Amino acid sequence: MSDNARIAVVDDVAAVRASLKALLETYGHTVETYESAKAFFDGIAGNPPSCVLFDVRMPGMDGLEAQRLLAKKEPGLPVIIITGHGDIDMAVRAMKEGAFDFIEKPIDDAKLVSSISSAVNRAAKVKMTEKKRAEVLQKYHRLTKRERDVFRLVADGYSSLAIASTLSISIRTVDHHRASIHAKMEVASLSQLIKMALRIEEMHDGGGLR
């Protein structure tokens, strides 16, 4: 279970908010409760939680509308829908629109806790992956245009001699560029450099290094 996650509970029924808060705090989470979607959005401005529990049926903005708005404001923030038996169709629609899970009332405590754990852990992994991708791109953008030309050819398996011939430069210049590329990309071997090249190609939808 992910410790100390911030969980937002959005439900118009005070007893439900209090019950969920008490339950989730026993697992080490910080729990914030809101009586409406509007109160939730006002409350998290600039400081989103780790996971959000939206009740489907609430006065004003319902859970699905709140989920759509949250997806625009905080992409990737996991949402779990709380639904009554008669709201299954709405819950399924929520899942299709990106909700992580839906939990039926009466709420199964173990199922809810497990779902929150999975949602928070997945979101953390996605965030870490995005951070690593951003770091790789940041390093790549340090390269000069000529260094990127050399990088592309190295990633394609060209030798220093072949690169020199292709770019009409000396082998010594190629080796100088390669040393600079290794330093800027912070890699110690050719295999690490090629792995980075593959990551960058994936981020460019297979369109190759640019």
Domain formed by 142-203, architecture: Orthogonal Bundle (1.10)
Percent of the chain topping pLDDT 90: 71
pLDDT of 85 over the 90 cut:
no
pLDDT (mean) for 67-80: 94
Q: In this structure, are residues 47 and 73 in contact, taking their beta carbons and an 8 Å threshold?
A: no
Quick check: bond before 106 cis, omega within 30? Answer: yes
Residues of the chain with CATH 3.40.50.2300: 6-128
pLDDT surpassing 60 at residue 155: yes
Supply the pTM of this predicted model: 0.73
| Residue 34 burial class via C-beta count within 10 angstroms: exposed 0-12, middle 13-18, buried 19 and up | buried
Q: What stretch(es) of the chain map to CATH 1.10.10.10?
A: 142-203
Least confident window among 11-15, 129-133, 165-169, 176-180 = 129-133
Q: Is the dihedral of CA 60, 62, 65, 67 positive or negative?
A: positive
**In contact, 200 and 155? CB cutoff 8 Å:** no
Query: Please, which pLDDT band fits residue 1 given cuts at 50, 70 and 90?
Result: very low
- State the CATH class of domain 6-128: alpha beta
Mean pLDDT of 119-138: 90
Given a cut of 70, whether residue 210 has pLDDT beyond it is no
Whether the per-residue pLDDT at 36 is higher than 70: the answer is: yes
| 91-119 pLDDT tens trace | 888 889 899 999 998 999 999 999 999 99
